[in-house]
Amino acid sequence: MMNTLISVDELLALQASGTRPVLLDCGFELTDPAAGERAYAAGHLPGALYAHLELELSGPKVDREGVFRGRHPLPSRDDFAAAAGRWGIAPGTPVVAYDAQGGSYGARAWWLLRWLGHDEVWVLDGGLQAWQAAGGALTATPGVATDAGPYPARPASMPTIEAPALLGLLGRMRLLDARAGERFRGEIEPIDPTPGHIPGARSRPFKDNLAADGRFKSRDVLRAEWAPLVSGQAPDNVAQMCGSGVTAAHNVLAMAHAGLGDSVLYPGSWSEWCSDPARPVAHGA
């Protein structure tokens, strides 16, 4: 099984084998940051722990030099290693992340754990809805973790790029934007102060990775859709972005699941890029 997606049946088989994966409920709503916690309290997969996008899966919006780094910058490796340890994650621990939003937040946890050097992590395909559709029960009882201590330091295994480097590579690096098409084109911008996109970027809304039932499209379909987007580029020359670096991880996951390798994440994404008026902005398709 690739370390990308896991089906409900595969999760049940893993649990039946005696293995107890750490389950991370990553549900979140950008317009209501407390909604994910409320949904978790109302019902979640038995044993699941709640992973909060803004408290555990992101770092401070402003760095020590007072520079805005986007709406959801990466946490420091030390901070996220401590969070992983509190969830009971140690090297070799299987982890399954999920949400009720098409995997958009579960993919963030998946990416961060891969970045930390942890390979035994998957996103539950179809998330909470797929679990319930298969007859899986929900519980309101909070999950309990056994603190494993900070995750040991390992080399970062998922590539990233920062704004200055990306600026210097515009036109030479393939850049894909996971936001909805109307936001990419600059027709609307409900969150960030400036509409538009980075010049040379191509639109690939993360929802295009999903079938009508909320599960990811098959590996063959994803490969057929993604291959023309990357046009034979090496994965380390393909950068993924979105509004704040969160749903971009969904595109990283889809491309990896398609067998096209681990692409590069631009963590600051549009929210960071457009905060500097000196950076170029494009509109339209």
Q: Could you list the beta-strand ranges (E) of 88-196.
A: 95-98, 121-124, 174-177
- 233-275 pLDDT, tens digit per residue, is 999 999 999 999 999 999 999 999 999 999 999 999 999 999 9
Of the listed 23, 121, 242, 260, which one is catalytic?
A: 242
The contacts of residue 189 (CB under 8 Å, 6+ apart) are 183, 195, 196
pLDDT for 61: 97
In the chain, how many H helices and how many E strands? 10, 9
The contacts of residue 239 (CB under 8 Å, 6+ apart) are 161, 166, 173, 174, 175, 176, 263, 264, 265, 266
The DSSP H or E segment spanning 128 is helix 127-133
The whole-angstrom distance between residue 241's C-alpha and the CA centroid of its chain comes to 11
Active site annotation includes 242: yes
- 93-105 pLDDT, tens digit per residue, is 999 999 999 999 9
pTM metric for this prediction: 0.97
- Extract the tokens encoding 258: 């398609």
In a 3-state reduction of DSSP, which class is residue 256?
Answer: helix
Percent with pLDDT over 90 in the chain: 97
Q: Could you give phi then psi for residue 38, rounded to 5 degrees?
A: -65, -40
The whole-angstrom distance between residue 120's C-alpha and the CA centroid of its chain comes to 16
Burial class (CB in 10 A: 0-12, 13-18, 19+), 122: buried
Domains and CATH numbers, the chain: 5-133 (3.40.250.10), 163-273 (3.40.250.10)
Q: What is the pLDDT along the chain (285 residues), one digit of tens a residue?
A: 789 999 999 999 999 999 999 999 999 999 999 999 999 999 999 999 999 999 999 999 999 999 999 999 999 999 999 999 999 999 999 999 999 999 999 999 999 999 999 999 999 999 999 999 999 999 999 999 999 999 999 988 899 999 999 999 999 999 999 999 999 999 999 999 999 999 999 999 999 999 999 999 999 999 999 999 999 899 999 999 999 999 999 999 999 999 999 999 999 999 999 999 999 999 999
* Cα maximum dimension of the chain: 56
